[in-house]
Structure 1
C-alpha cells in the first residue's frame, strides 16, 4: 500500500473524480483549488465533471484540495501535489484554481510535479499594488499557463492578472490569457465556454500537447495579443480534438 504524505495541517484531498483512482489507470491529476470559502468554487464543479467525462478514459483524475486552518494555502497545495505522487506515482499535475485558489495555483507552480496551471479569475492585488510589489513569476517557467478573467470582475481586478501575465510571458513563452467580456468574478454568464476552454487546455497540457486553434494562437501570439485573447461565444460547441 502506498504511504501517504504527512498532511499539511488542515489539508486533505476530496474524492477522486474521473478514472477509477487505481494506481494502474491514473496517468494525470488535476488538483482543484477553490476560493477562500467552501462556497467559492466558481466554475470548478462543472469543470471537474467535464474533465471526468472527457479525460477519464485517458486516466485523468481530479481531486479538490480541501483546505483548513493551520497552514498556508500554498503549503496545503504543495502537500496535495506530494500526495498525488504517493498515490499515483510520477504523473503530471495541473493546478486549477478559482479566485484565491487561482492565486494559490500560480504561487505553487514551482512544485516539481506541476506541468500546468489554470488560474480562473485569480485574486491578485490591484494593479497599482501589483506594480509596486509584483507577484513572483519565475516559478511558472517550464509550465503551461492559462489565465481566464472576466472583464467586469468587481472582486478581482482583471488588469492585475494581465500585468502578471505580461511579466510571466517574458519568463515563460507558454503563457496565455483569455478575457471573458462582460462577465463577472464567478464567470457564470459564459460558464459553458469557460469550462470548454479549461478542458481543452488541461487535456492538451497533461496529455497530447495539442490545443484548439484559439489556445494555440494565444500561446504563439506576442504580448499583448495573446494575453487579451477574447473568449468567443459558443467556444467548444464545435470542439474536436
Structure 2
C-alpha cells in the first residue's frame, strides 16, 4: 500500500501556522480515492480559499491525499493518515500550531486527532461521527463544527450528539448549522468562510470571529444549535 501524501501550498515567507485539509471518503474501501471525487474537489476548493487569505500571513496549507478511500473499521485508515501528516508537518515546520479541517469522513479523522499536542483547533464540516465515537481526548481542545440541516448522508443529529458529549468531556465546542446538504455546495461561501475563520484564529493569524468566540465561551445547549 502506498504512503499518503500531502499537496502543499507554502506560505509567503516563513511558516508560522499550518492548516491540514482532509476530504471525505466511504465506510469501507481499500481502493485509492478517485482523482475526480466530489469530496476531494470540494475540499481542494476550500483549501485554496483559505490559502488565499492566509498565505500572506504565514499560513502553509496541506491537502491530505489518503492511501485508501475508506475508514475501514478499527483500521481507521483516514485517522492514521492524519497522524502521519502531523508527523511530516512537525518534521518540516517544527512546533508551529496546526489547525485541522475535515469534511465527512475527514471530519471524523480530524476529530480523532484533535487531542494531539500540536493541534490548535479542529474545524469539522458535516463530520461523520457514529454513536460511540470517542471524545475524552478532546478535553481542553477547541472544536468548531458546521453541519447542513438537510444532510441526508450524515444527518446533522450525529454531530449534535457528538458535540454534546465532547462538551461534557471538557472540549470547547462551537456548533452551527446551515441550510443545505452534505456536499457543501449550497451556500458554499458560508462553508468556505467558516473554515477560513477557524483556521486563521486557531493559527494565531487573526481574531476569533465574534459568533464563534461567543459559542466557544458558552457551556449551555444553545451554543450547540446555532444557525448561519
TM-score bin, normalised by smaller chain: 0.7 to 0.9
Compute the displacement of 1:111 (Å): 1.9
Query: Is 1:100 the counterpart of 2:105 in the alignment?
Result: yes
On the 8 A contact 2:99/2:122 being kept in 1, the answer is yes
On the 8 A contact 2:124/2:144 being kept in 1, the answer is yes
Note the residue ranges of structure 2 that are not aligned, 5 or more in a row.
26-32
Compute the displacement of 1:196 (Å): 0.9
On the 8 A contact 2:57/2:205 being kept in 1, the answer is no
> Over aligned residues, Cα RMSD in angstroms?
2.0
2:4 is matched with which residue?
A: 11
Secondary structure in 1 matching 2:168 = helix
Q: How many residues align?
A: 212
- Please report the TM-score for the alignment, with normalisation by the length of structure 2: 0.86
Compare relative contact order (CA 8 Å, sep 6+) and give the higher one, 1 or 2.
2
1:168 is matched with which residue?
A: 166
Secondary structure in 2 matching 1:111 = coil
Residues 143-179 of structure 1 show CA distances to partners (whole Å, capped at 9, x for unaligned) of 2111110011000021010010011112235211110
Moved beyond 4 Å, runs of 4+:
none
Secondary structure in 2 matching 1:122 = coil
Note the residue ranges of structure 1 that are not aligned, 5 or more in a row.
1-7, 232-241
1:202 is matched with which residue?
A: 199
On the 8 A contact 1:115/1:143 being kept in 2, the answer is yes
Compute the displacement of 1:10 (Å): 2.6
- Please report the TM-score for the alignment, with normalisation by the length of structure 1: 0.82
Q: How is 1:40-119 mapped onto 2 (pairs within 5 angstroms)?
A: 40-41=39-40, 43-69=42-68, 72-119=77-124
